[in-house]
Structure 1
Amino acid sequence: MDYITLNPQESGDHIMKTAKHVKVDLEKCKEAALLVMDAVVEGKIGEIDYSANPLHPSGLSDEEKMLWVFLLDVLNFSFWPDEGEEYNVTFEGQTYTGYLAMCAAFRKAHKELNAPIATVQWMLTVDVGVLDFILKDDKGFSIPMITQRKQAVKEAGEWLFWSHDASFLNVVRKSNCNAQVFLRYILACESFRDYGFYNNRKVSFFKRAQILINDTVGALIGSEENKHLVDFKDLDTLSMFADYRVPQALNYLECLEYSPELLDELQSNKLLTYGAEKEVEIRGASIYAVQQMYKEIQRVRAAGPYSECDVDTVSGEYRLMGATGGDMDFTNARRLLPIDIDVWLWMFRREHADEVESIVPFHRTRSIYY
């Protein structure tokens, strides 16, 4: 049977029409939207800036930088450790976890070993043992799914070599400042094809592909030579990046409500199979919730000044302040997109990790897609 694939935003809408295990609280989404708006007005959410992350290398040409971005996002999946293991990497005196730990591992190899990583030739020929050695954590634990990572790197290298003259910057050029065209190019690379089925429809999430677009903008926006290549006008057509940490933050903020059955499974650390009903509902609900936050931000912005939302980040309780509590003018703040909301939620989870973990666990799904 030939299925028409719903894009991620459509997929979220479709999944939430009949979801059994996850609900979205629209009022809590509105409250969470105010928190994001406050962060923007207060300057806590800036423009996308790839160079602002100290783990991203500096001093590279745009060609080299884009290969580095591409490689990191080819490997941007499944960082949570197996039971009893860890994945922490220390670089220049600071210890990192998760995705940032992987970035640190590559920086460490690049600096200390002078390893020729982030080149298409390296991607084509990398040995699983070498990749495992580079990505080992501080205590010698391997990053999860090392065999699948090696395969993803090799496939991605072959795609670049044969289809785009070994240049990811060429892919950006061919996209002609259109995010949806860029997305279609990326989806030609097999490991980015993040699909599922739900209620007789083919749905999509495209977590890593959309992050790659976001990182590409951040990496080139400061380039005098190539910043025009990322003057996308349709970034609002992309959804949030449906992974396992942002849904956790949304549940903590009470935007998502899990059924008792699902919550029991999460608390017992039961693995959810990629593409299974509950896993698809968590990711679809996350997309839907962020879209509701985005719509609320647009609505409030159009209405003019608003009252600041005061939040107790320990208890998670909110209270909206009256006009005397400090009206804030959002009309001149920069444009916000669903992907910005995702970044805020991801950072919120990291900044409040202990409180979030004490309330709700993340869902555990081993997959190359997130």
Structure 2
Amino acid sequence: MEIALTPLEAGEYIAKQSVAVTVYVDKCQGIAKQIMDSITDGTIGDIEYKANPLHPKGLSDEQHLNWVFVLDTLNFSFWPNEDEEYYVDYKDNREVGYLAMCAAFMKAHEAEIPIYDTDWMVTVTEEALGKILVSGSGHAIPLLRERFRALKESGQWLNMKHRGQMMNAVRACGPSAQSLLRSIMTIESFRDQTMYKGTKVWLLKRAQILVADVYSLLKGSTTQEVRDLVNYVDIDTITMFADYRVPQALCHLGIMEYSPELRLRLDKKEVMPYGDEMEMEIRGCSIFAVNEIFKEVIRMRLNDYKGLDWYETKRPLFAIDIDVWLWQYRRQHAEEVEEHVPFHRCREIYY
């Protein structure tokens, strides 16, 4: 693997040189307090993997892990083209974006399509995949052909390297989140790598999400042997998942601010090329900002909250949890967030 800055290193490197995006570290304490309060009142459970009703029930750990692998292989670029919103209606709810894809696969699962089987991954046609993922409006999901290619590549990797089971990949990597991350990075569609001011950086949105989902899913297994597989002592080295939605939440909450030049590009709905300097600054500063919130959470936990009756029994919290908290905050306050700051548009497979 070639030398490049890790996501954590990249975030700090980009934030220190950023011109278009400013991070207000002094405002991280307020968000950390909100997150710590969600631990106190129990609402932190809303971000757990098992809390999502659009994840299947009744699958074995092996099947469910392959399901997660398929979802994360295709988890990119859901923002709609003009007048082509991507949505799926499922059980009286209209889901949009990533959750629309989850709903589409739940409908496929109920129709007995074995999307957790690598034979399906490598044999499904682009047309068949398109029918599964089609929007309720009749429009194709964005980047259908690229999703089809990514699915084929991931299925072939799983078959050739791990006998068709993501669980074998997890076992082969041992109790290390970084080892699993390096393994996933050998799949081309997960290699979220570009240059910023002459330095190669990894941001790895989808690869890190897959590691986080493996961790979240298997730590909830009913089998001790499976839970032991994800005793990742380095799970805290996995950063937030630099996308186009969490930066909106960070701006809305006052943690980040965009320059007038960047804001003008966003207001014009300009589609930025992958690797554009401003696009990189949005994503890199998001990683840095969430890590600063994470540091504040750790400080609060060790100082302001230590000694309370629940201190030792409440769940740990990592940067990946803060990402999900922010992502859900953006969804819950979608209208006011959109009114305050647009998302940045980059039509790319890496996020």
- Give the AA of the match of 2:33: L
Deviations 1:116-170 (A, max 9, x none): 3221111111111111110011121111000000000000011111111111110
The answer as to whether partners of 1:48 and 1:217 remain within 8 angstroms in 2 is no
Question: What CA distance in whole angstroms lies between the structure 1 residues aligned with 2:12 and 2:220?
Answer: 35
Aligned partners of 1:294, 1:331: CA distance in 2, in Å? 17
Quick one: structure 1 residues 278 and 341, their matched pair in 2 at CA, closer, same or farther if it must change by over 3 Å?
same
Inter-partner Cα distance in structure 2 for 1:196 and 1:166:
30
Q: How many residue pairs align between the two structures?
A: 348
AA at the equivalent of 1:45: I
* TM-score in terms of structure 2 length: 0.95
Unpaired segments of 5 or more residues in structure 1?
307-327
Match of 1:324 in 2: none
Q: Per-residue displacement from partner, 1:208-237 (whole Å, max 9, x unpaired)?
A: 111111111222122233111111111111
Return the alpha-carbon distance in structure 2 between the equivalents of residues 279 and 67 of structure 1.
Answer: 32
Say if 1:305 and 1:330, in contact at 8 Å, map to a contact too: no
Partner Cα distance (2:310, 2:201) in 1? 34
Q: C-alpha distance in 2, partners of 1:276/1:340? A: 28
Contact 1:51 1:57 in 2 (8 A): no
Bigger drift between 66-75 and 36-45 goes to 36-45
Q: Determine the structure 2 residue equivalent to 1:151.
A: 149
1:205 aligns with 2:186: no
What's 1:318 paired with? none
| Paired amino acid for 1:99 | Y
Partner of residue 27, structure 2: 28
In structure 2, distance between residues paired with 1:25 and 1:49: 28
Q: Which moved more, 1:164-173 or 1:114-123?
A: 114-123
Residue 348 of structure 2: aligned partner: 367
Q: Matched residue of 2:57: which SS?
A: coil
Aligned to 1:120: 118
Root mean square deviation, CA, Å: 1.8
Distance, in Å, in 2 between the alignment partners of 1:21 and 1:50 is: 34
Q: Which moves more between the two structures, 17-26 or 223-232?
A: 223-232
Shift of 1:47: 8.4
Structure 1 residues 51 and 334: alpha-carbon distance in aligned structure 2, compared to 1, 3 A threshold: closer
Instruction: State how far apart, in whole Å, the 2-side matches of 1:359 and 1:47 are.
Output: 25
CA contact (8 A) 2:45 2:51 kept: no
- Name the amino acid aligned to 1:242: A
2:336 is aligned with 1:338: no
For the structure 1 residues 83 and 105, does the alpha-carbon distance in structure 2 shift closer, same or farther, using more than 3 Å as the test? same
| TM-score normalised by length of structure 1 | 0.90
- Sequence identity, in percent? 50
Q: Which structure has greater helix proportion?
A: 2
Deviation of residue 334 (structure 1)?
Answer: 2.7
State the secondary structure of the residue aligned to 1:46.
Answer: helix
Segments of structure 2 that go 5 or more residues without pairing to the other structure are: none
Counterpart position of 1:168: 166
User: CA offset at residue 46 of structure 1?
Assistant: 2.4
Hey, what's the Cα distance between the residues in 2 that align with 1:45 and 1:77? 25
CA distance in 2, matches of 1:267, 1:28: 25
1:44 lines up with 2:40 in the alignment: no
CA-CA distance at 1:77 after TM superposition:
0.3
Which deviations, in whole Å up to 9, do the C-alpha atoms of 1:52-85 show, x marking residues without a partner?
2111111111111111010000000001110111
- Indicate yes or no: 2:238 matched with 1:238: yes
Asked whether the equivalents of residues 47 and 325 of structure 2 are also in contact (C-alpha less than 8 Å), the reply is no
Q: List aligned pairs for 1:132-281, cutoff 5 A.
A: 132-225=130-223, 226-281=226-281
AA partner of residue 44 (structure 2): I
